[in-house]
Amino acid sequence: MHDNDATQRFLDSLPELAPDQEFRFACHPQVPCFNACCGDLNLMLTPYDVLRLRRALGEPSAEFVRTRAHVALAPDTGLPLMRLRMRDDKRRSCPFVSPQGCTVYPDRPSACRTYPLGRATRLDEDGAVRERFFLVRESHCKGFGQDSAFTPATWLTDQELAIYNASNDRTMRLMARIKATGKPVDPRRANMAALALYQLDSFGDFIRDTGLLGRLEMAPGRAEAVLADEAARLEFAQDWLTLVLFGCCEGLAVRR
């Protein structure tokens, strides 16, 4: 089963939370199971996750992908998927966990931020992203015995997920469009997507070497931002891939 399908099946087995429904949860060193969930994980990394982690670690993208990720192609889209490489120990521990907690906490992946919620998204016919939330209550977790109360909305705010979800939803739109065609992208375009989405430093070199930005129409100032900032470059990559794959993209066009 494809990872996205398996995730959806798992979420559908959990209790769904209404947008204003409260739950109690906290995770900190005083919780008895602190760090217990940071192992034996199939932790998928989104392009924005990779951007933040690689930048925090100060690693070139090629090194990050080679040493810290397992890479596969999604069978329904042909796009690359990345999963965090765990330590080779009995617990399959997260490489970033320490006795004191997460060593990359300010830049931890979106899946870690969202827990203990599961967030499922879909596109409506009008292109709007609809989200549903589920509570992942694992038997070992003592965080649910804490006093802090949240709703899905306040939890997303507390965990600073807005910027993560905005980028992840852009990638989800691209994947949904490809999936709707019923035809995965070919290997050449899969390699292009791997470069553009997950290797933003190398993608910047590609942009400069090929003069790509000069061949495109875009909003004033965007080209400069794409060259200067990797977050802006990722947004451009998502739009550019949409343009390449489907021939059109709002806000981006081939210069005539």
Tens-digit pLDDT profile for residues 221-230 = 999 999 999 9
pLDDT band, residue 126 (cuts 50/70/90)? confident
The confidence score (pLDDT) of residue 14 equals: 76
Residue 86 pLDDT greater than 50, yes or no: yes
Q: Which of 96, 93, 94, 114 is nearest to 105 (CA)?
A: 96
**The pLDDT value given to residue 19:** 85
- Calpha distance 225→236 (Å, rounded): 10
Q: Say if residue 5's pLDDT is above 50.
A: yes
Distance of CA 160 to the CA centre of its chain: 14
Q: By the 8 A CB rule, do 79 and 73 touch?
A: yes
What's residue 174's pLDDT?
Answer: 95
Q: Which residue has the higher pLDDT, 150 or 146?
A: 150
- What is the pLDDT at residue 70? 96
Instruction: Specify the higher pLDDT residue, 207 or 19.
Output: 207
With a pLDDT cut of 70, the percent of the chain lying above it is 95
The amino acid that residue 70 corresponds to is H
For residue 2, pLDDT beyond 50: no
State the pLDDT at residue 96. Answer: 96
pLDDT higher than threshold 50 for residue 109: yes
Any idea which of 66-70, 88-92, 213-217 has the lowest mean pLDDT? 88-92
pLDDT band at residue 1 using 50, 70 and 90 as cut-offs = very low
pLDDT at residue 65 is higher than 90? yes
Tell me how far apart the alpha carbons of residues 188 and 87 are, in angstroms, rounded to a whole number. 32
Neighbours of 119 (CB within 10 A): 17
Task: Give the β-pairing of 117-123 and 149-150.
Answer: unpaired
What's the mean pLDDT in 142-160? 93
> What stretches of the chain show up as alpha helix (H) in DSSP?
3-12, 47-57, 61-68, 110-114, 152-158, 162-181, 187-198, 200-210, 222-228, 230-246
Whether 60 has a pLDDT exceeding 80, the answer reads yes
Mean pLDDT, the chain, whole residue set: 92
